[in-house]
Amino acid sequence: MDDQHLEEIVNAVLKELAAMGIAPSSRTARSAPARPGESPPEVVIDLGDPATPAARGSPGVNHPADSDGLTALMETTPARIGVGRSGPRLRTRSLLLFQSDLAVTQDALMRDVDIKLLDEFNLFRVQTRITGGKQEYLLRPDLGRQLSNEARRVVAERCVKAPNIQLCVGDGLSAAAIEANLRKIFPVIEAGCKTGGLSLGTPFFIQYCRVGVMNDIGDLLHPDVLILLIGERPGLGRADSMSAYMAYRPKSGDTDAERDVICNIYDGGTNPLEAGAYTLQLAQKMIRSQASGVKLKLMEK
């Protein structure tokens, strides 16, 4: 809708109101009512970026009884505490931050992973059985758990069979998570395989990916351990978080009980470099124990 169109609507509404005898005030409702004897205050909306870490950490409560304590309390949680209010409502700053964070979340979800990043790591791209874009991806998780026929053909053709470690990357619910972490975690896993004397299969990228797709990959490639790096469902304003799902010799019919996961991988949770090294340590343990998931846990007891 362009501005001119908008203005036409506004004018039409104003005209209608006037016809009904309701005259809009010359001062808009946005400015605060003037106290008797005072000239009306000017409305100044001058807010810095509320999304910077410093702005997020600064309390919105006026005159707190213990400002050090409040700041310390706020540092213990990403929840929106200590933000203050204006009368019964959110402060403008809180509202803007909320909207900005929601936008980050939606962007991460709806966007595709940057192809340049995939090229950097020589990841070829395949798709699941989703054909109708992100909308269908969100509505049909069952289709996201299966490779398309074309994908099966390409994977079978291009990938080394029966490696110790097969590494796959999936967009999942956050393209931003893959973009934020892949450059850090990928080379650590790659180098770790070398140090640990493990063969690494041909890595590739899966679009419209759900975790269950690991079974299809297992059936096709028979790796000892499959590692799937996948974007996590973004939280409000937090879209960088990635998971590493892992399974020992995955195959059709496997469920989450056969899998392990390291979640919350991002600088701020488990950092991606360290997560990469830990992932490999866990993979080696899976190979030694010939098990993953619940079975591996029970063996530890």
Partner 1 sequence: MDGARQMVSVGIDIGTTTTQIIFSELTLVTVARAGQIPRLDITERRVLHESEIVFTPLLDAETIDAQRLAEFLRQEYQRAGIAPQQIETGAVIITGETARKKNADQILKAIADLAGDFVVTVAGPNVEGMIAGRGSGASSYSRQHFTTVTNIDIGGGSANSAVFRQGKLAASAAMNYGGRVIEISDGMVRAITRAGQWIMDSAGVYFAVGDRPTLADLHRVTDAMTEVTLHLIEGSTSPLAAKLYQTPPSPVSGRGKPVMFSGGIGYYFYDPIPLSTVADVSRHGDIGPLLAESLRDCPALHGYTILRPAETQRATVLGASSQTLILSGSTIWADQSILPLKNVPVIRPDLNEKPLNADTIAAAIGEALRRWDLNLDSDFFAVSHEFSHSLDYPQLVQIAQGLVNFSRSLPASRPLIAIIKQDYAQALGQTVKGLVGSRPLLVIDQVGLEEGDYIDIGAPLMDGRVVPLVVKTLIFYH
Binding site for partner 1 (CB under 8 A): 66, 68-70, 72-73, 76, 183-184, 187-188, 191-192, 194-195, 243, 261-264, 267, 270-271, 273-278, 280-281, 301
Choice between 66 and 157, CB closer to partner 1 = 66
d(CA 251, CA 293): 14
> What is the per-residue burial (b if ≥16 Cβ within 10 Å, else e) of 278-299?
bbbebbbbbbeeebbbeebeee
Tokens at 133, concatenated: 């874009």
CB of residue 193 to partner 1, shortest distance in Å: 10
Choice between 127 and 271, CB closer to partner 1 = 271
Choice between 163 and 192, CB closer to partner 1 = 192
d(CA 11, CA 147): 55
CB of residue 271 to partner 1, shortest distance in Å: 6
Choice between 207 and 270, CB closer to partner 1 = 270
d(CA 105, CA 84): 24
> Which residue in the block uniquely carries the two structure tokens 């998570």?
177
d(CA 276, CA 279): 5
Choice between 126 and 225, CB closer to partner 1 = 225
CB of residue 299 to partner 1, shortest distance in Å: 12
With vertex at residue 165, the alpha carbon angle to CA 163 and CA 171, rounded to the nearest 5 degrees, is 120
Closest residue by Cα to residue 140 from 209, 219, 81, 48: 209
CB of residue 63 to partner 1, shortest distance in Å: 17
Cβ(134)–Cβ(108) under 8 Å? no
CB of residue 269 to partner 1, shortest distance in Å: 9
CB of residue 194 to partner 1, shortest distance in Å: 6
Choice between 109 and 275, CB closer to partner 1 = 275
Tokens at 281, concatenated: 């340590």
